[in-house]
Chain A
Amino acid sequence: MAGSYGSTLRYKNVERIKSIGKHTLLGASGEVSDFQEILRYLDELIIYDNMWDDGNSLGPKEVHNYLTRVMYNRRNKFDPLFNSLVVGGVKNGQKYLGMVGMIGTHYEDNHVATGFGNHLARPLMRAEWHEDMSFEEAVKLLEKCLLVLLYRDRSAINKFQIAKITEEGVTISEPYALKTFWGFLAFQNPTKGAEGSW
């Protein structure tokens, strides 16, 4: 939930997951102002779609495609939106999860991540994700990834939100913090016998 200003952890309450329409969740990393602009674009998109009043509504696939076009076209104008986006949702029983980067790179997978998550979280998810996980298993896996990122990503803070979307609807959790572990014996006196090292 952090909004950094260079290396300062300036804002500690930034909501980076928002719901779009009835069927989609959008998570963003990167520049907060650009994310807010993207939300405005999507607002307009959803409103115009609703105005048709035809019983149809935009689902995650459509939102993902729209965002891909937006990001790629901005990249072509050398004026990118500095975000990496995660788009997920359920429509008519069909699950969908995708990613769009700031240069328009996009793909769909069972597990996606942005930034450091690509290096630290995806290997964990590749090992432990399987079809038909329960909600609890999924949360545990996500929290495992979040903890590693909290330890190893400088821009992370100990404040998270987990969001869930099903056919029934959207739930975005209250912000919460995870317990960290510092009790390794080696952490107590790491330079014992090697004064001047780490």
Chain B
Amino acid sequence: MDPDLSAPHSMGTTIIGVTYDGGVVLGADSRTSTGMYVANRASDKITQLTDNVYVCRSGSAADSQILSDYVRYFLNQHTIQLGQPATVKVAANLVRLFSYQNKNMLQTGLIIGGWDKYEGGQIYSVPLGGTVLKQPFTIGGSGSSYLYGFFDQAWKDGMSKDEAEKLVVKAVSLAIARDGASGGVVRTVTINAEGVTRNFYSGNSLPLWHEELEPRNSMLDILLSGASPEPMSI
């Protein structure tokens, strides 16, 4: 029960990427843990690779950071050589190259999302072994286990930007409710032809789910107001 402070920092996480009619929405929670201790309760797991391509990171914090640093570096060179913005497909395949060739050493699952003028909004999933799969939506991280059923039911093709964003926020918030390794705030990044928008949904503004209660300042508020139900006894 002692906090294992020498445990590797892991972003037991919930990450999501969905396409919508015109772009993509990426979403993530904000908890980074070292063993059972929450090392960072407001991390930013959605990282920029280029102006138009972002990646959601999960698994080992160190591995995902170094991998995205390398990919950002090479994509930057590639953009200069190409003379125009890199495509999402190229970004995804570069991520795959690193993930696959170093599969014995890395422990990170990634979701690449972006927009380019050739194919519009795209989401690519790059899980642990270095597979690349283009998908209309994908989920990842430890919290995703709780979302498979939810997405089976709630996902629809051709959603609007607002519908897609609401879906992502709802999903991350549901996963946070059940996954001890996910928590904090919900961050989203929306990418389309117009550009990139970051959003932030804090703990208090997220909906309440089953057996969750309305937060208050203190128990004393209930007691002092006098309008409370009887205290429980044995």
**Which residues of A does B touch, CB under 8 Å?**
4, 7-9, 12-13, 18-19, 30, 84, 114-116, 119, 136, 139-140, 143, 151-155, 158-162, 170-180, 182-184, 186-191, 195-198
Contacts and interface: CB of A to CB of B under 8 A. Distances in A.
Contact of A176 (B179, B203, B219): B219
A154 B181 contact: yes
A191 B65 CA distance: 12
B41 A19 contact: no
Contacts of B48: 195-196
Could you say which of B38, B61, B229 has the most chain A C-beta atoms within 10 Å of its C-beta?
B38
Contacts of B200: 187-188
A153 B2 CA distance: 11
Given A7-B12, A7-B179, A173 B231 contact: yes
A8 B179 contact: yes
A116 B1 CA distance: 7
Nearest to B198: A189
A139 B234 contact: no
A160 B38 CA distance: 19
Interface stretch (B88-96, B122-130, B208-216): B208-216
B220 interface: yes
Contacts of A154: 31, 33, 36-38, 180-181, 183
27 contacts: A7-B12, A7-B181, A9-B177, A12-B212, A13-B211, A18-B234, A30-B1, A116-B1, A116-B37, A153-B37, A158-B215, A172-B232, A173-B219, A173-B232, A174-B231, A176-B213, A177-B214, A177-B215, A179-B215, A180-B203, A180-B215, A182-B204, A183-B202, A195-B72, A196-B48, A196-B72, A197-B65
B178 interface: yes
Nearest to B43: A198
A58 to B, nearest CB: 15
B216 to A, nearest CB: 6
B69 A196 contact: yes
Contact of B220 (A7, A136, A151, A198): A136
Given A154-B183, A178-B217, A191-B44, 14 more contacts: A7-B180, A13-B211, A143-B218, A151-B41, A153-B36, A154-B33, A159-B213, A160-B219, A162-B219, A178-B215, A182-B184, A187-B42, A187-B185, A196-B65
A9 to B, nearest CB: 5
B3 interface: yes
B198 to A, nearest CB: 7
B91 to A, nearest CB: 14
B173 interface: no
A135 to B, nearest CB: 9
Interface string B29-51: 01111001110111110011000
B233 interface: yes
A7 B212 CA distance: 18
